[in-house]
Structure 1
Amino acid sequence: MALRTAGSVLVVFVWSVTVVLGQNDRRVTYTKKSICALKGSTVDLACTYTYPRGHTVTTAFWFTTNFAEGNPVSLSDDPVYKGRVAYRSDKKNSHTLTIRDLRESDSATYMFRFITDQTVGKYTGDPGVT
């Protein structure tokens, strides 16, 4: 009777999961980077955004880089845009800015900003929509 020794093989599977924490889990993605529209027309600028689990968005708004010195001003509060802008959002974290009665002076870079209930909760999507 022959005695055989079978070799043992140990197989180890290593599962790697990447968890992103901190500033990197905040993101704004613009649907279009550049839009051309006619004077007097209406245009929609859209984006989606993500933020850390456990945070609650308390404020979300669009602004132009023309008013970004220090603290950005929401277009809905800006006298130049007052009455010509509307915001729409949904539960899937998408946000749309509608500008009516476009003027030549509206040519700018528009950026979306959201603020959460956490102390490090301010985030502006860069580079915006031109």
Structure 2
Amino acid sequence: MRCTYTYPTGYQIKEVFWTKGPILRDVELLDLSEDPEYSQRLQYLGDKQQNCTVRLSHE
């Protein structure tokens, strides 16, 4: 899945990951690459600039 993003000037991206479900305030988000259901099937292909592309396999 291709994905791009932008963020305000002056900010630095320190961590990038995909998650699922609603994003609630003050709730820690689960990185799908650490979720047993997805960890062997998910490959993050993006960077910390503007690309947040991910590959999810069927296996």
Aligned residue number for residue 74 of structure 1: 31
Runs of 4+ in 1 over 2 A off after TM superposition: none
Cα contact 2:13–2:48 (8 A) shared by 1: no
RCO higher in structure (CA 8 A, sep ≥6): 2
In the aligned structure 1, how far is the partner of 2:48 from the partner of 2:40? 25
Q: CA RMSD in A?
A: 2.2
**CA deviation digits over 1:48-69, x for unaligned, max 9?**
1111111110011111117x56
1:99 aligns with 2:56: yes
Cα contact 2:46–2:54 (8 A) shared by 1: no
Greater share of residues in strand: 1
| Pairwise CA distance, 1:91 | 6.5
1:56 aligns with 2:56: no
Rg larger in structure: 1
**CA deviation digits over 1:69-115, x for unaligned, max 9?**
6222111011111111000114650111111116xxxxxxxxxxxxx
In the aligned structure 1, how far is the partner of 2:15 from the partner of 2:54? 14
The correspondence of residues 1-130 of structure 1 with structure 2, limited to 5 A, is 45-65=1-21, 68=23, 70-90=27-47, 93-101=50-58
For normalisation by structure 1, the TM-score amounts to 0.38
| Count of residues in Structure 1 that have an aligned counterpart in Structure 2 | 57
For normalisation by structure 2, the TM-score amounts to 0.76
In the aligned structure 2, how far is the partner of 1:92 from the partner of 1:59? 11
Greater share of residues in helix: 1
Q: Which runs of 5+ in 1 are unaligned?
A: 1-44, 103-130
Q: Which runs of 5+ in 2 are unaligned?
A: none
Percent identity for Structure 1 against Structure 2: 33
